[in-house]
Amino acid sequence: MRLIKAGIYTTMLCASLSLISAPGALAQAPPPAPVEVGRVVVETLQRPVSLVGWVEPDKRSVIASEVEGIIDTFPAKVGLYVKQGDVLAVFNTRTVEIALDEAKAGKREAQARYRMAEKNLARFEELQQKGVASMQQYQDALTEKEAWGARIGQQQARIDSSEYSLAKSKITAPFSGYVIEEHTEIGQWVVKGGPVVEMIDTESIDINIDMPERYVNKIKSGEGVSVDIDALPGMKIGGVITSVVPQADNETRTFPVKVTVDNKDGVIKSGMVSRVSFPIGDPSTVKLVPKDAIVSQNNAQFVYVVNEGAAQPLPVSTGIAYEDRIEVIGPVEKGMMVVVKGNERLMPNQPVEIINGKDEKDGKLN
């Protein structure tokens, strides 16, 4: 009886769909089509509030040099994906190597003179005890030993500095990601602390949203949200609220909220526009069907309802999505069986054979 009431909604839709059937369709009814069905359910859900955000990488860093020098090799190029530890730039190290050799030679000389000064000190100490050498001679010998000991430490510091410079002459990627900007080139002098490249890591991305103050107390970190990317229509994306800053912007009266999304396949790019749906709207009782039940054709949407072994199309419009189901608005009612698989090639009133459960075959309601 419910389907009879919906007949006035479907007359034009059936006529439209019948135009695409073969010329001989009226002469011979199509055979029963195997289909899988689901049920129309009614639930009370909170309507989502959708807010626009912008995508940023989880990590963004300007990689700086810890030493100064001339760039000798520069393999890092804009757009290049590099792994953690890959070489981004290499300095010319010839002057550092010369300085290291000089420091090592200076240390060897200082060590030799220190040993000699140590022997002299021991000799003057013995002579001074015998009264042959003066206290001044002993003090001079002690001072010379200490001076050469300090010189050894000085040369070791020069060695450590040169070895550190050599170790840092290769600038490597601190994390895996993309090079998005070059700050130097081969032959250019880079000062200590000077920028070399800028990198981003997009294996996970952050979506920054300005949350109106009327909603901010309805969300909290750790809650899941759904995300739509304008450049990736139809892609199902889940995210998690990772921070809610409890300080409003003085001009806009909005609170910064960050949503983190896994992006290991790299399809979401930094700077893309996103729309994040937060389940914080007013509760609403809605009719839901499996998403696969929706058929789109000729700029119209409809579902096939099974009645007495035949499929009848009913026009609907869609609303909010909830997990693997979607809200439908139109002449469908709770408990109706809707085709979720095999509905792409169905014709109006075509016989069907339900293949996914005894309850559906018997026409029983859950």
Q: Tell which CATH architecture fits domain 94-167.
A: Orthogonal Bundle (1.10)
When pLDDT is cut at 50, 70 and 90, the band that residue 22 belongs to is very low
Q: Is 299 exposed, middle or buried (0-12, 13-18, 19+ CB in 10 A)?
A: exposed
Mean pLDDT, rounded, of the chain: 88
Length of the chain: 366
Q: How far is CA 322 from the centre of its chain?
A: 23
36-70 pLDDT, tens per residue? 999 999 998 888 899 999 999 989 999 999 999 99
Show me where the domains of the chain are located: 2-47+283-361, 94-167
Q: How far is CA 311 from the centre of its chain?
A: 44
pLDDT computed for residue 279 by the predictor: 85
pTM of structure: 0.64
C-alpha dist (Å) from residue 60 to 57, 199, 340: 6, 6, 44
Check if the beta carbon of residue 33 is closer than 8 Å to that of residue 345: yes
222-246 pLDDT, tens per residue? 999 999 999 998 788 999 999 999 9
Residue 315 tokens read as: 């026009």
Please state, for a pLDDT cut of 70, what percent of the chain lies above it: 89
pLDDT computed for residue 126 by the predictor: 84
User: What is the distance between the alpha carbons of residues 191 and 31, in angstroms, rounded to a whole number?
Assistant: 80
Greater confidence (361 vs 328) lies with: 328
pLDDT computed for residue 366 by the predictor: 37
pLDDT computed for residue 257 by the predictor: 97
pLDDT computed for residue 356 by the predictor: 86
166-182 pLDDT, tens per residue? 999 999 999 999 999 99
CA dihedral 289, 293, 294, 295 (to 10 degrees): -160
Check if the beta carbon of residue 71 is closer than 8 Å to that of residue 184: yes
Instruction: Please name the residue ranges forming H helices in the chain.
Output: 2-5, 7-18, 94-130, 135-167, 358-361
Helices and strands, counts by H and E, the chain: 5, 22
CATH classification (class only), 2-47+283-361? mainly beta
- AA identity, residue 99: A
